[in-house]
Chains A and B, each alone.
Chain A
Amino acid sequence: MFTALYFGVVGAVLALLMRVQLSVPNNDFLEAAYYNQAVTMHGLIMIFWFLSPLGVALFNYLVPLQIGAKDLAFPRLNALTYWLFLAGGLMAVLSFFVPGGAAAAGWTSYEPLAGPVYSPGPGPTMTYLGLMLMAASVTVGSVNFIATILWLRRPGMRLSDMPMFSWFALFTVVAMLFAFPSIIAAFLLVLTDRLIGTVLYAPPSILNVPGIDPSLLWDDLFWFFGHPEVYIVLLPAFGVIADITPAFTGRPLDGRNWILISVAAIVLPISFGVWMHHMFLTGIPNVLLEVFDVSTEIVSIPFGIIVIMFILSMVHGRIQFKTPLLFIVGALVLFIIGGIMGVFLSSPVLDRVYNGSYFVVSHFHYVMVGATIFGLFAGIYYWLPKMTGRMYNESLGKVHFIISFIGFNVLYAPMMLLSDMPRRIFTYQNIGDWAQLNGIATVGAFIFAGAQIIVAYNLLHTWFRGPPSGPNPWGSQSPEWSTPATGSVPVAPVETEPAGGWIGQLPGPQSASVSGPSPVSHAMSAVSHEVHLSSRPLTLSAGVMLFLTGAALYPGGAIQLSVLTIPPGVFPLALMVLGVGVFAASIVGWAWDDIRNKFVGPAGDPGGDRWPYDEVPKMKLGMWVFLSSEIVLFGTLLGAYIFIREAALEWPSPASVHDIPLATANTLILLTSGFTMAMAVYAIRKGDQRGLLGWLVATFVLGSTFIGVKISEWLGLFSGAAPFLPSSSNPVTALAASIYYVVVGLHGAHVVAGLVVLVYLMKKTARGGFTKDDHMSIENFALYWAFVEIVWCFVFPLFYLL
């Protein structure tokens, strides 16, 4: 949470720089290049490293408390989530200082502007690699939260009994799980373009194929992710509102189940069916304009239900005007305004004016800053006594709210009127009322930012000097406040992470005293000797970060030290080698820790939590959840492939490129390895350890053969040397080669990862690590392996036969 707040400050400083630049016409405070970097990184940092993580930090602290779990389902994966998030954020921030500067193509990173031709240099590459780490972190985190919420609720807590905040957490992570694979796919294609020279988003000057336009492919991939993402940002705030409103109204929430049904409708079908409203000007057919106009209008209905229910929840209450309540009301007001502006934007006709203008900027700041930040502030004030055991200063909180609310509207309301001013211009002439409106907005920005100094002081003061709050200052019924005497919820969080993990895990001194002596806390201390502490997630993330940084910088220029000159390429290469080394050491070490049973799972819980594949049911659940996100990833990539194939007027026939008989034979090899893996599962189910080892070895040999044949095939394909260099005679070959390498290569990487895990499984089998009753790793790996084969069953016909 502190990390998220830190990134929030970085993003805010960038925003203030921009507002200073735009305060008067024809300003030259920031150059265009720096302005574009600021505008881009402001968006990326605020969305990916501030808003989302702030919500997730609250999940991390509260969900286990609310559902009565000691921690998340996979504590070390949780640490990995944090370290990957931090490593990605560091890469993004450091990219400012790398040649080429940070990404400057807008947070939307429209292609081909964000590609290697128009955004050269390692800086943007580094930003996008950081984003990939963030996305990986999100995927790991989503799996973890879903497994936690579905498996670790305390006895007797049905899903329907869960507090609202945990419900919203569940919806948020489900949306994350399905949205982020799409952006991973989209940026994977950007990064292969930037790093290994594929031409997937190449502009016409590089690749001139009739029918192909790179921009629409990007639009579809990006916005398929991008629209659910705005709900991912918003939902934690609504979860706060739904959860804590009753504490201030003195009555239960009205229409709790209807709110949940509405959120479910938003998250699963609707939010994934509105993305084209970002593309109303791209020349898509009118029928799509109409469909997405209607679908976008429909998404406002469940939001309407939620808002009305929140309002009805105030009726007949006895409302106490504490700071959190003020922020709740503020968030709702701003959300209503921003949401209604969104209905304007749902119209393709009105969008002819608003698209790309400051009206859009105003709209999404009303919902994503207004509703989200105000809602999260309500939560922070509300749970601060829980986290610190101390009470914040109520007057300062109210002053913070009033100044924030005024500053916010002074900042963003003028932008509503700037519907003819283009977004992201770094300067403007003195036209109409642009100067006045921009000047007012800048004043508002400083008021809004100034208000945040108050909250920073208030938080720090509370943390160190605040008066004790008592165990339940709000008189809330929610389980996170309950003492062990009245419920079986453990109040003291057990620190099961490396130091510096999510700050939410910090056990506040008072929160421990809240629990007091009780049978439960004794039970807690009885099991608190379980060991999850591991530095592997940290070193693993660091290794990945080093490798990717090296890859981004490669080959780079010569480095001139005082006496000696390091030739180009050496330093990045050293970084990459070091990164691979650290990464490999972490993975091997992690597996080795496990084989030696270093980690101790919860007592009395069969299986314990031993990575990778030891946990009995929750591990399998985690696997299924993970695979469902993988399905979206491959589905997106195959969709991109089909999109390109459909658009291209000509395409090289598979027979002219591939050795089809060989590929067919190779497919049979892979399918056979699926059979041997099934036999391995069958063997260990009977308790036959030697049989298991034999079948695992057979699987490994077949898998290695498959990947070996594929590598030899790749080397010979597409006339070898420079497969992605478009030839003037037949440019489409380069495109075909690009998409083939990315999709088949990613599948190959999955096979290789599977082989690595197989080595671990064989090692553990040889040491007798699996028995008839304890072989969940084998089952889970079989699941993964089957998934890899099913993917190939789609890839093979699409690429080799059609």
Chain B
Amino acid sequence: MGRFGASFLMYSGVLAATPPTVATWTRVYDVYLTLGVGTAVVVISALLYAVVRYRSRGQKEPVQGAKQHGWKAVLAIVLVMGVILAIAGSQTFAGFTNIEIPNSPGTVTVSVTGFRWGWNFTYPDGQYVIGDLTVPVNTIVILNITSSDVYHTFGIAMLDVKEDAIPGKVNQLWFNMTEMGNYTDAIRCYQLCGVGHAFMIANLTVVSQSQWNATFGAQKG
């Protein structure tokens, strides 16, 4: 099932191969969407059907002897919902690979510091760039995210990754970008942080591994 309402896919069609975080997210989402829409349709239909089916045809008097449902009905509801939620929850648990930081060789790490109002990216060689994150293609990139002032949230919508940038704390996220290119305004702040919140935007640039190593890859010291 595709993702509808996909305004986030402003680069849809640009990417030949789906990044792993997007693939995982979409897999989880598809299950939730199927179950959610299915449940909504069934329950709302039942409600509307009941209301229309049992509409008054001029009767005013109370109905006698209407059925009361007891513990059996409740047990049925609990079981059905339990199964639905268990399926959904197990998908989420399987999707935790999006959250857990991979521990594999060949990753690159960039430090991200949110400030009012922009993003500072510090590379392994010690140089820093404001407003533009450059990463190598087909490489697991780990971001160490923090903030120098207030609470921000670092999000790349096109990659389905997001993590809070909290002063005094370092949070991590990872992604693996599958296509080179310049993705303008791909990075945004998702937590109200003052008057500049709407403009706390950065670009994502994906270059070849050799080019990235040449520009940023030298280990400092």
- Point out residues on A near B: beta carbons under 8 Å: 31-33, 36, 39, 104-106, 110-113, 118, 203-205, 211-216, 249-252, 254-255, 258, 281-283, 286, 289-290, 293-294, 297-298, 300-301, 304-305, 307-309, 311-312, 314-321, 325, 329, 332-333, 336-337, 340-341, 343-344, 347-353, 355-357, 416-429, 431-434, 437, 475
Contact = CB atoms under 8 A, between A and B. Distances in A.
Interface residues on B, range: 35 or more
A298 B86 CA distance: 10
Contacts of B196: 32
B130 interface: no
A347 to B, nearest CB: 4
Nearest to A314: B50
Interface string B137-163: 000000000001111010101001111
17 contacts: A249-B54, A250-B59, A251-B63, A255-B74, A258-B71, A307-B43, A311-B43, A312-B73, A316-B54, A318-B61, A319-B55, A333-B44, A356-B162, A420-B157, A424-B192, A425-B197, A426-B197
B192 A113 contact: yes
A432 B191 CA distance: 21
A318 B54 contact: yes
Contact of A343 (B24, B29, B88, B185): B88
Contacts of B189: 422
Contacts of A290: 93, 96
Nearest to A320: B56
Contact of B73 (A249, A255, A355): A255
Contacts of B98: 349, 352
A475 B78 CA distance: 35
Nearest to B190: A356
Contact of B40 (A104, A311, A336): A336
Given A254-B67, A254-B69, A352 B99 contact: yes
Nearest to B162: A352
Contacts of A356: 153, 155, 162, 190-191
A648 B185 CA distance: 37
A672 B85 CA distance: 56
Interface string B162-173: 111011111110
B190 A357 contact: yes
Given A300-B81, A343-B88, A317 B66 contact: yes
Contacts of A419: 5, 7-8
Contacts of A251: 62-63, 66
Interface string B94-111: 011011100000000000
A105 B95 CA distance: 33
B7 A422 contact: no
Given A316-B67, A349-B92, A418-B5, 11 more contacts: A113-B151, A216-B166, A250-B59, A281-B153, A281-B171, A311-B50, A316-B63, A318-B59, A348-B99, A419-B5, A422-B188
Given A315-B67, A422-B188, A417 B99 contact: no
Overall SS of chain B's interface: mixed
Nearest to B32: A344
B51 A281 contact: no
B77 A304 contact: yes
B127 interface: no
A319 B197 CA distance: 50
B167 A204 contact: yes
Nearest to A306: B77
A215 B151 contact: yes
A302 B157 CA distance: 33
B218 interface: no
A773 B89 CA distance: 60
A349 B195 contact: no
A314 B167 contact: no
A250 B63 CA distance: 6
A426 B36 CA distance: 31
Contact of B198 (A32, A418, A420, A434): A32
B81 A301 contact: yes
A213 B167 contact: yes
Contacts of B92: 293, 347-350
Given A214-B168, A344-B32, A349 B25 contact: yes
B56 A318 contact: yes
A187 B194 CA distance: 19
A104 B78 CA distance: 42
A432 B100 CA distance: 31
A502 to B, nearest CB: 33
Contacts of A308: 43, 73, 77
Contacts of B220: none
A311 B47 contact: yes
Contacts of B153: 281, 355-356
A204 B172 CA distance: 20
B15 interface: no
A321 B67 contact: no
Nearest to A429: B185
A434 B43 CA distance: 31
B149 A431 contact: no
A205 B116 CA distance: 13
Contacts of B190: 355-357, 422-423
A203 B67 contact: no
A311 B89 contact: no
